[in-house]
Structure 1
Amino acid sequence: MSKAGRFAVLLALAAASCSTPQPPRRLLACADPNNLPFSNRAGQGFENKLAEMIAADLHAELGYVWWAQRRGYVRNTLNEKKCDFWPGVASNVEMVATSRPYYRSTYVFVTREGDRLAGLTLDDPRLRKLRIGVQMVGNDAMNTPPAHALASRGIVGNIRGYMLYGDYEKPDPPAEIVRAVARGEVDVALVWGPLAGFFAKSSPTRLRLEPVTPWLDRAQWPMQYDISVGVQKNDAQLLKEVDGVLAARAGRIKALLASYGVPVVQP
């Protein structure tokens, strides 16, 4: 083959390689398959919707790695590089790199609107006589801030614990504590705001939600948390891209949270 012929072949091969379509970008979200209002396998949670928003803005196909949010969740998902991002992690978690917060929420007192229990605080004397529901993790050192705050005040005998993870064989297991207020099993429950707000909307009994105060109890137990998107610690590029989406879509994200009844508070 002549020199000119070989050159023509090389040009043809180069052109063919340039025209070969590149595989679409794919992003994998870490998510719990049974944890409304945050996520479920049917894609009905607001973290599902946020994941879809992020993938669409980054021109990527969205996939999921499903894993129940128990202890070891980060270790078994992001840290093992099974997925690329977690749409709902506390901003102060050190095991992952976290984006700018996209909302801040609070634990709330959940009571029945028909009861005269408005204006509760952690130091309200009424709490010593009421039946109180609190979310429990199971290990005392890992219990929720409201559980610690009540115990530090000696309020223990009138407490009923509801496991944070619930009965995973049933739909929406963490919602049991909100339903317990509606059924009259407890008079008040101290519940993480997004969970309470979502299930209060569909409760057959009208419920009242008020932020737990003080928001920082005894300089030790915060009742409010900033929530971010988490990525693998060394993925600075994806973190930057996610931050860009969160900034550009702030108004849409605010509307999304409101549609799920998420109580949003200012720092």
Structure 2
Amino acid sequence: MTSPCRSAELLLVVLLLAAPAAAAEPGDLRVCADPGNLPFSNRAGEGFENRIAALLGRDLGRAIAYTWWAQRRGFVRNTLKAGTCDVVMGVPKGFEPVLTTQPYYRSSYVFVTRTGDGPWIASLDDPDLRHLRIGVQLVGDDGATSPPGLALSRRGIIANVRGFPVYGDHRAAVPAAPIVDAVAAGEIDLAIVWGPLAGYLARHAPVALTLTPVSPLVDRPMLPMLFDIAIGVRREDKALRDELSQALARNRVAIDAILDDYGVPRLPTVVSAARP
């Protein structure tokens, strides 16, 4: 993850193998999604992206039909671009392979520590990071580091850093949970985790955990720690993009309530007029 595009790409990967597509009827809102990636999505519809998709479907008067495919690299190529589905929830705004709607939330990576007895860290430049046990997320089959991992390596903070695969155990309800579990158990002093995952896991942790947004939010040169999250469609599907953007705007309050239910930490989002 050495550029904004690479940073965005790594947010789209998670676990598992492909599963068959659901039968769709004409007029359905066909959604490409991971069948086992809580808190975002699963086959039982328990993720917050499942709930937001259902909300948009009701608003548009369209039933939801899923194509299930693991969100590893190649996800967009094998689903959206293959024509088996039309909508990808939860992509970074401006993600190059797709056309994106207006964002419906903005989040960042966060420091996760134990409340009370954990270290107080608010910046990647804190000198204490040089001697703490730190967990970072690793993405992809090649174990590429996440933006915070790259930022730490730029600062020479390597030997005390432990990597946790985002893919995780596909048999688990939340495959990426071990990084936050390790903080709760005291196996590491802190972790730097994508905010929506951290917020959800903190709500279910056996001990109180504190989440602090990573600072700086954009590490120089051009390494973002925050992302505006939108819906992706094929690049030629401008009408669908605009339809979904309008539905997102109409349902802003309900979407925020869903995100609150899952503990998703958010930063202010700037929404501009839709591009033609």
- Measured against aligned partners, the alpha-carbon deviations of 1:136-174 in whole angstroms (never above 9, x if no partner) come to 115779421001000000100001100011121322111
* Residue 242 of structure 2, aligned match among 240, 247, 258: 240
Is the contact made by 2:112 and 2:191 (CA closer than 8 Å) also made in structure 1?
yes
Mapped to 2, the partners of 1:141 and 1:174 lie a distance apart of 14
Is the contact made by 1:78 and 1:85 (CA closer than 8 Å) also made in structure 2?
yes
Alignment correspondent of 1:67: 69
SS of residue matched to 1:174: coil
Segments of 4+ moved more than 4 angstroms: 138-142
* Residue 249 of structure 1, aligned match among 248, 251, 269: 251
* CA gap 1:80/1:41 in 2 versus in 1, 3 angstroms: same
* CA gap 1:101/1:209 in 2 versus in 1, 3 angstroms: same
* Residue 39 of structure 1, aligned match among 38, 41, 47: 41
Give aligned pairs, total.
245
Q: Kindly name which structure, 1 or 2, has the bigger radius of gyration based on alpha carbons.
A: 1
Mapped to 2, the partners of 1:67 and 1:179 lie a distance apart of 26
* Residue 89 of structure 2, aligned match among 61, 78, 87: 87
Task: Percent identity, please.
Answer: 52
**Partner amino acid, structure 1, of 2:233:** V
Counterpart check, 1:180 vs 2:172: no
What TM-score do you get using the length of structure 2 for normalisation?
0.85
- Measured against aligned partners, the alpha-carbon deviations of 1:164-188 in whole angstroms (never above 9, x if no partner) come to 1112132211111111111111110
Mapped to 1, the partners of 2:145 and 2:184 lie a distance apart of 24
Once the two structures are TM-superposed, the CA of residue 115 in structure 1 deviates from its matched residue by 1.8
Mapped to 2, the partners of 1:117 and 1:60 lie a distance apart of 48
Alignment correspondent of 1:55: 57
Is the contact made by 1:24 and 1:60 (CA closer than 8 Å) also made in structure 2?
no
Alignment correspondent of 2:101: 99
Query: What runs of 5+ residues in structure 2 fail to find an aligned partner?
Result: 1-24, 270-276
Alignment RMSD, CA only?
1.5
* CA gap 1:139/1:259 in 2 versus in 1, 3 angstroms: same
- Measured against aligned partners, the alpha-carbon deviations of 1:214-244 in whole angstroms (never above 9, x if no partner) come to 0001132111000001111111111111011
- Measured against aligned partners, the alpha-carbon deviations of 1:29-49 in whole angstroms (never above 9, x if no partner) come to 111111111001110011000
**Partner amino acid, structure 1, of 2:111:** F
Mapped to 2, the partners of 1:116 and 1:181 lie a distance apart of 9
Is the contact made by 1:25 and 1:59 (CA closer than 8 Å) also made in structure 2?
no
Which moved further from structure 2: 247-256 or 186-195? 247-256
Once the two structures are TM-superposed, the CA of residue 92 in structure 1 deviates from its matched residue by 2.0
Is the contact made by 2:217 and 2:224 (CA closer than 8 Å) also made in structure 1?
yes
SS of residue matched to 2:206: coil
What TM-score do you get using the length of structure 1 for normalisation?
0.88
Q: Higher helix share goes to which structure?
A: 1
* Residue 167 of structure 2, aligned match among 165, 168, 172: 165
Alignment correspondent of 1:111: 113
**Partner amino acid, structure 2, of 1:73:** F
* CA gap 1:49/1:189 in 2 versus in 1, 3 angstroms: same
Alignment correspondent of 2:12: none
Counterpart check, 1:28 vs 2:38: no
Is the contact made by 1:50 and 1:253 (CA closer than 8 Å) also made in structure 2?
yes
SS of residue matched to 2:207: coil
Alignment correspondent of 1:195: 197
**Partner amino acid, structure 2, of 1:71:** R
Query: What runs of 5+ residues in structure 1 fail to find an aligned partner?
Result: 1-22
Mapped to 1, the partners of 2:72 and 2:194 lie a distance apart of 16
Once the two structures are TM-superposed, the CA of residue 114 in structure 1 deviates from its matched residue by 2.2
* Residue 218 of structure 2, aligned match among 216, 219, 237: 216
Once the two structures are TM-superposed, the CA of residue 54 in structure 1 deviates from its matched residue by 1.3
Mapped to 2, the partners of 1:82 and 1:113 lie a distance apart of 45
Alignment correspondent of 1:126: 128
* Residue 149 of structure 1, aligned match among 147, 151, 169: 151
